[in-house]
Amino acid sequence: MFYIVEVEDYVRVEPKLFGLKTADAVAKQLQETYANYHDKEVGEVVGIISVLEVGNGIIIPGDGAAYYNSKFKLIAWKPELQELVYCTVDEVTNFGAFMNLGVMKGMIHISQTMDDYVSFSSSNSLLGKDSKRVLKKKDSCLARIVAVSYKGDSPKIGLTMRQPGLGKLEWIKEEKQKSKKSERAEKKEAKPKKEKEKK
């Protein structure tokens, strides 16, 4: 889920940025510092929205940089359990698929890709035995986050598509069309019964 976070922190502005206005130097330094930044509490920082305040700078002996107490807003994405995410298949392996969630990567085990017996095919795709559905690289999907682990540098995200309304976007569209057809058929069957009851 995306969050807007307000942070107050001392920003270490490197000497190479001293030629800029203080507010611009702090903003540029924040962009560099928070590029590819991840924190368990905040999440994955997507970008700096705005610098709200810049206090007076201090210099620490032995360090050529200046430190400015600053308030700023950033936007971050933090994976939440049970969250629905749009994703794209980055890589298919014999044990599942690696999914690109936009901000982070996730992994879906082969058993969680569809409600079917799934096997890894020679064409580097996952194939459903009965449904004949195929999941391959670059497919767009809708999945649910079912596990988040913070061991290591970045979180490990576990996904599932074995729930109603989830899966490859084409499969979801097919399912909707099938349910609409069956609803229409049920309505047609119900109409003659009502007419007979009136007579």
Q: Which domains does the chain have, with CATH numbers?
A: 2-77 (3.30.1490.120), 84-173 (2.40.50.140)
Exposure string over 172-198, b if 16+ CB within 10 A, otherwise e = beeeeeeeeeeeeeeeeeeeeeeeeee
Q: What is the pLDDT of residue 142?
A: 96
Give the Cα separation of 121 and 94 in Å (integer). Answer: 8
Q: For each of the chain's 199 residues, which pLDDT tens digit applies?
A: 999 999 999 999 999 999 999 999 999 999 999 988 888 888 899 999 999 999 998 999 989 899 999 999 999 999 999 999 999 999 999 999 999 999 899 999 999 999 999 999 888 999 999 999 999 999 999 999 999 998 877 789 999 999 989 999 999 998 888 888 888 888 777 766 555 555 5
| Global pTM value | 0.77
